[in-house]
Chains A and B, each alone.
Chain A
Amino acid sequence: MSYDAYLGGEPVIITAALTGGVHGKEANPNIPETPEEIGRAAADAEAAGASVVHLHARKPNGERAFSTERFQAITDEVRARTDDIIVQHSTGGTGAPLEVRRQPLRTDPAPEMASLDMGPLNRYDHLTSENTRGMVDSLHDEMVERGIKPELEVFNDGHLNETHQLLDRRSLADPVYATLIFGSGTLTRPRPRNFLNAIDNLPEGARFNTLAFGRHQLPFAAMGMLFGGHVRVGLEDNVYYRRGELAESNAQLVERVADLASLLGREVATTREAREILGLESQR
């Protein structure tokens, strides 16, 4: 993917990360947490231009849930309330063992996509989300068994090496789809030159998605679109609409990048176009 791809005009896939599992309504009361709230947020995000929803599950008090049953309740609500959106489940889970992190892959139907964290990530002052290669391989293998496309989450440049090494160990279906993540802590520093470096070091033929936290969400979405990539926005990654003003909804953030795409001359991908780009077969 490159500036030529931007000029070539491939539609941009907008992923809406609706809820996450780190912060919740204590950070922004508009974050959807219950299955019904998440289902409604997915429908609104789809109407605003999202073709993929990235889902985490929560308990009624907002705390993280990983069970297949809880993911089933959420995915059922999302599928009932949306027309054709692509469902992507998270397999992230700081401090949760592999058996727990497999659970989101076991819904019926399986999600079309699932996230696959490519390596370690520090949390707070005394905790690391390990994501060992063994864990990455195990989650990947279960995704393949269940026909789920992995979305490779690249937290930093070291994870670009991990991505190349995963391709040495496993054969991934084309196109490889990697989300480049920018922010503080273990993430790649959110600087334009680091973004250019990251896209230069992707595996040949890979497609990329652009994710930056907080106030970096919008400028990095713009860069992602200009360099032929795709974008992820949503309250999981950024609770503000602008400095000092909490976002009203996920749809508000999706709508803004959809408007930006059209200003930049990139069509927003329909769900059908997104499936074509990602090499997915429709389940809906």
Chain B
Amino acid sequence: MTCPYLDYREASGDDSFETARAYCTVAERFVQPMRADICNDRYDLDHEAHCEIYREHEDGTESSGDDS
């Protein structure tokens, strides 16, 4: 199941794209393409297990959501 915080948007703030891209409504920014596979639970990936932004949001703690 896709993460409930995932949205697809063509623009946000100063960023805009021709094709709608994965946007995290918790971190309030576009996410890296590799992270988008986690958001979508593709392949062997699962947002509940693998995304620290989701996990920390659900725990009620802050996340840096650093995509590095």
Interface size on A (CB < 8 Å)?
26
Closest CB in chain A relative to B29 CB, distance in Å: 8
Does B44 sit at the interface, judged by CB under 8 A?
yes
CB pair B51–A64 under 8 Å, yes or no, is no
The bracket for how many chain B residues form the interface is 20 to 34
Binds B, one of A92-100, A135-143, A169-177: A92-100
Interface residues of chain A: helix, strand, loop or mixed (majority): loop
Residue of B whose beta carbon sits closest to that of A126: B50
- The answer for the CA separation of A127 and B34 in the assembled complex, in Å, is 11
Main secondary structure of the interface of B (DSSP, over half): mixed
Instruction: Give the CA-CA distance A60 to B67 in the complex, in Å.
Output: 21
Q: Contact at B19–A95, with CB atoms within 8 Å?
A: no
Q: Which residues on the B side are within 8 Å of A185 (C-beta)?
A: 68
B38: which A residues are within 8 A, CB to CB? 95, 124, 127
The chain B residues found within 8 Å of chain A, CB to CB, are 8, 15, 17, 19-22, 29-38, 42-45, 49-52, 55, 67-68
Interface CB pairs A-B, < 8 A, 26 = A21-B34, A22-B34, A24-B33, A25-B17, A26-B17, A26-B21, A26-B30, A60-B19, A61-B19, A61-B20, A63-B22, A63-B33, A63-B36, A64-B37, A93-B43, A94-B34, A96-B43, A97-B44, A123-B34, A124-B67, A125-B52, A126-B49, A126-B55, A127-B45, A127-B50, A185-B68
